[in-house]
Structure 1
Amino acid sequence: MAETDRTQVPRSIDGVIDLLASEDYLAGRSLATVIFLALTMKRPLFLEGEAGVGKTEVAKVLAKALDRPLIRLQCYEGLDISSAVYEWNYPAQMLEIRLAEAAGQSDRDRLQRDIFSERFLIRRPVLEALCGQPGRAPVFLIDELDRTDEAFEAFLLEVLSDFQVSVPEFGTIKAEEPPIVIVTSNRTREVHDALRRRCLYHWVDYPAAAEELSIIRRKVPGCGDQLSRQIVAYVQKLRTIDLFKNPGIAETLDWATALTELDRLALDPETISGTLGTLLKYQEDIARIGGGEGQKLLSEVKAELLSVAG
């Protein structure tokens, strides 16, 4: 793709697949289809799934591949409008008022218009996303929306339906060109239907074994073929166990990178026990897999890979 065309969205599903692959993100056709539709229809895309399956990465890759600014709103409990949308620069406003009083200005209406003008408006991620340049509108990532409360979720309805924000003292600010909006959720709580209706939806699942192997080969090229296959088979089996938190593709890549840094060519019980902290994030899971159950899994993995090779 020529440099001058980088900001243009793909015109086909295959174009989306190629665009993401150019930044080492391997997307299945169903995900590529909904991304294509979101870009074409200029609708927000709501990605839901377990933590670590690559939802946030979609926004990062799109921003990089399309040469667009990435604006990220990291959601958390208690997130409010002043942190997410805008706030006024109160110290500067107070200084302006004192200077006006010292100069003897008595026109209160004019002073009010001055202190509530754009030069005193501090843009937070939501407002920043709506003020992008036409032809290069940003990618706006609303990450982990399920961590916020329902009141903030309700506030976002105006943003996601009309791509505008109402500032009482200033007026309505509307995007000249809608940003590319990616909303993610780990489903720690249900997001309201009203917000879902404003978005296209896709559930991002754990990758299949063949896809996960391709991702390791692309992202961790130094990882040997035998080790890569064993890692994928082991992780795939782990996801069938009732763990507190199953490893996502992010953890798989961390484990592959760690084992490569340790110059390992194959899995063995000692190596697994010593590196489980890169793959599992809860002590209960580590204790369980670090013992006999982990060795049993390894034996099953090696037997299955041997039978496939034979």
Structure 2
Amino acid sequence: MTAASRNVPESIEATLKMLEEHDYVAGRALATVLFLSLRMGRPLFLEGEAGVGKTEIAKVLAHALDRPLIRLQCYEGLDVSSAVYEWNYPAQMLEIRLAEATGEADRDRIETNIFDERHLIRRPVLQALQGEPGRAPVFLIDELDRTDEAFEAFLLEILSDFQVTIPELGTIKAAEPPIVIITTNRTREIHDALKRRCLYHWVDYPEADAELEIIRRKVPGAAEALTAEIVAYVQKLRQMELFKNPGVAETIDWATALTELDRLALDPQTVSDTLGTLLKYQDDIARIEGSAGRQILDEVKADLARAG
């Protein structure tokens, strides 16, 4: 058993139960790879469309295991100074001025004082590696596909040995490896060298029954009939060729919005008025506002009526 596997679920069933207790509805395949990642101390690489619940897994883990959550939100141009560390230059300059004022002449001593950990600004990577022993953090590397290949290459040392090298201080190694969750929306392919260091799972859109349970848990105030119509409507939308299919996050937003409007069922006007909470591109909204949207609604009500 690895250090990272302490205080984690003892079985796949226990992992499913842990997720369920924190209102995360997951299938057995996801629970299995999550259980193995925790027990083996390996990073978990989650791939899938935006809004299907990848990031939420890290949040649930941190809460369930009582670990700090450290999030590195990736973006184009992300570099070491933003992701790992940088020096506090104003504090270093003050150190130099103080040395000059006191007549300090030992250059080695001055350099040691300048590059002291007191002047080190720790960014998410370094924070994750220097976590509290016995309570290593959950380290979320979110939307890795937004960065470039150079940053991917930099991550290899971290994911292989859970250490990072700072030229002025040397190599800093985690006393206890963090629990690492990496997410990507697959806007580009991630290099095999990084994937090999991880366990992998594709997070897909949920089936209707699972999405229904998600809405019941996340929007408990929604009427049961409305919840059924919302899920059926979204499931049909995902079968169309939209620019961006609505994710689970959007389904939750739509259910919340309709509940705030005290709606008990869907109707064409309500759907048209609230599509902005569900779809995020005008071309998609314009398509659903017309006859296509009314046809979907008719099909949804007919399907639910037949189902009893």
TM-score class, shorter-chain normalisation, is over 0.9
Secondary structure, aligned partner of 1:183? strand
Report whether the alignment pairs 1:87 with 2:93: no
> Which whole-Å CA distance do the structure 2 matches of 1:28 and 1:135 have between them?
29
Match of 1:98 in 2: 97
Deviation per CA, 1:232-274: give whole Å up to 9, x if none.
Answer: 1110000000000000000000011111111111111001000
Match of 2:231 in 1: 232
Q: CA deviation at 1:27?
A: 1.2
Match of 1:213 in 2: 212
> Which whole-Å CA distance do the structure 1 matches of 2:11 and 2:111 have between them?
50
Q: How many residues align?
A: 303
Match of 1:50 in 2: 49
Match of 2:130 in 1: 131
Match of 1:30 in 2: 29
> Which whole-Å CA distance do the structure 2 matches of 1:68 and 1:126 have between them?
16
Q: CA deviation at 1:66?
A: 1.1
> Which whole-Å CA distance do the structure 2 matches of 1:133 and 1:15 have between them?
25
Secondary structure, aligned partner of 2:296? helix
Please show how residues 233-248 of structure 1 align to structure 2 within 5 Å.
233-248=232-247
Secondary structure, aligned partner of 2:307? helix
Match of 1:14 in 2: 13
Q: CA deviation at 1:101?
A: 1.7
Deviation per CA, 1:271-295: give whole Å up to 9, x if none.
Answer: 1000000000000000000110000
Q: CA deviation at 1:9?
A: 1.1
Which structure 2 residue ranges, 5 or more long, are not aligned? Answer: 1-5
Match of 1:294 in 2: 293
Please show how residues 150-299 of structure 1 align to structure 2 within 5 Å.
150-299=149-298
Q: CA deviation at 1:167?
A: 0.3
Deviation per CA, 1:194-225: give whole Å up to 9, x if none.
Answer: 11011100000000000000111111111111
The one-letter amino acid paired with 2:185 is N
> Which whole-Å CA distance do the structure 2 matches of 1:161 and 1:50 have between them?
27
Identify which range, 166-175 or 219-228, moves more after superposition: 219-228
The one-letter amino acid paired with 1:258 is A
> TM-score, normalised to structure 1's length?
0.96
Secondary structure, aligned partner of 1:77? coil
> Which whole-Å CA distance do the structure 1 matches of 2:89 and 2:16 have between them?
47
Identify which range, 238-247 or 109-118, moves more after superposition: 109-118
Moved over 2 A (4+): none
The one-letter amino acid paired with 2:98 is L
Identify which range, 284-293 or 298-307, moves more after superposition: 298-307
Q: What fraction of aligned residue pairs are identical, expressed as a percent?
A: 76
> Which whole-Å CA distance do the structure 2 matches of 1:199 and 1:101 have between them?
50
> Which whole-Å CA distance do the structure 2 matches of 1:156 and 1:87 have between them?
17
Match of 2:113 in 1: 114
> Which whole-Å CA distance do the structure 2 matches of 1:134 and 1:104 have between them?
41
